[in-house]
Amino acid sequence: MSLSIGIHDLSIATGEFVLPHTALAAHNGTDIGKYHVGIGQESMSVTAADEDIVTLAATAAAPLIARHGTDRIRTLVLATESSIDQAKAAGIYVHSLIGLPSATRVVELKQACYGATAALQFAVGLVRRDPAQQVLVIASDVSRYDLDSPGEATQGAAAVAMLVGVDPALVRIEDPSGLYTADVMDFWRPNYRDTALVDGQESVGAYLQAVEGTWKDYTEQGGRTLEEFAAFCYHQPFTKMAYKAHRHLLNYCGRDTDPDTVTAALGETTAYNRVIGNSYTASVYLALAALLDQADDLTGKSVGFLSYGSGSVAEFFAGTVVAGYRDHLRTDAHREAITRRTEVGYDAYRALHEHRLPADGGDHATPAQTTGPYRLAGISGHKRLYATR
């Protein structure tokens, strides 16, 4: 009998502040319907000056450690496209902040928004090799585009931490996977830039091509039929993209694309992304968190995952929700992470967007803004200094 391996626990975190899209629309004179209806976004999480992918990741992971301890965790994989260092893995800072043992491997993975799915699949492989161990997978990103650019309205920030092991309490990850890679310049961020470059039309087309490619491969590998899935978690650069992608999949498979069918498959996966914004690697797993926290009993039901990362790499795979999963959810904590954010106006958001750490290697403290458990206290000698509140 094959091992049951999957997501044993899941926790989310997001930024200190929130900018409603009404404030963005008022600034740039855009009809609010373009945001609320056109891209399906209501607000975006904004990080404090003393928050980054490390503090978000540690905040997401700490509840898992509090519940399960560290004895079985032998690996931490942090997926991000908002890396803070070209050499040192951001996960090493997290390792220290949450108190993991020294006998731990830590690595950072990058492939645009797809990285967390690679991390999850690598984790499944490690656990299959050694079922006694657990793997901590964290997706953490801060999405930032140029001010007044088309991508500005899709910004966001979040982390999702997942504990992967045998006999999972939430979702069993299944074989096979459908895979797809194409060399596309739809979204990228050269080393000399701290905001991404986007070809919006190209990106939508590349995403839809990846939907076809992953599903074709998934089917050829002997995967489930479309009708076997109770819901689908898509990467959501903006929530309306998930709807566009699912309609495309239904069309590709020769199925009806009536709105009720699409809403039934996706409706409960968009709640968190709609108010947090694009969280890159964390996006598809925020969709899973929203689904598990809101749906009627999903016990024994299959969920489809479509993970897309620009450039581009994509994967389609299935997970089955296990019996008793509701007893292990963190629904109240997840909703608190969202409702606790402090609303900021456009000017305050713009100041936070333009805040940068000095690059002179001197001693610089960061403004104390976050009320979360971890903060980026400052830099000294080109070294980042983190603190526990």
The sign of the dihedral angle between the CA atoms of 168, 172, 175, 176 is: negative
Known catalytic residue at 113:
yes
Beta-carbon count within 10 A of 372 CB:
21
Q: What is the CA radius of gyration of the chain?
A: 20
300: left (phi over 0), alpha (psi -120 to 50) or beta: left
**Catalytic-role residue among 8, 16, 21, 81:** 81
Beta bridge partners of 309: 313
**Catalytic-role residue among 21, 95, 235, 246:** 235
Interacting residues of 58 by C-beta distance below 8 A, sequence separation 6+: 93, 94, 97, 98, 373, 374
Q: Is 13 helix (H, G, I), strand (E, B) or coil?
A: strand
> Smallest Cα–Cα separation from 211: which of 264, 165, 248, 261?
248
**Catalytic-role residue among 113, 248, 315, 353:** 113
Known catalytic residue at 235:
yes
> Smallest Cα–Cα separation from 237: which of 207, 278, 195, 180?
278
Known catalytic residue at 81:
yes
Q: Name the amino acid, one letter, at 155.
A: Q
Which are the catalytic amino acids?
Answer: 81, 113, 235
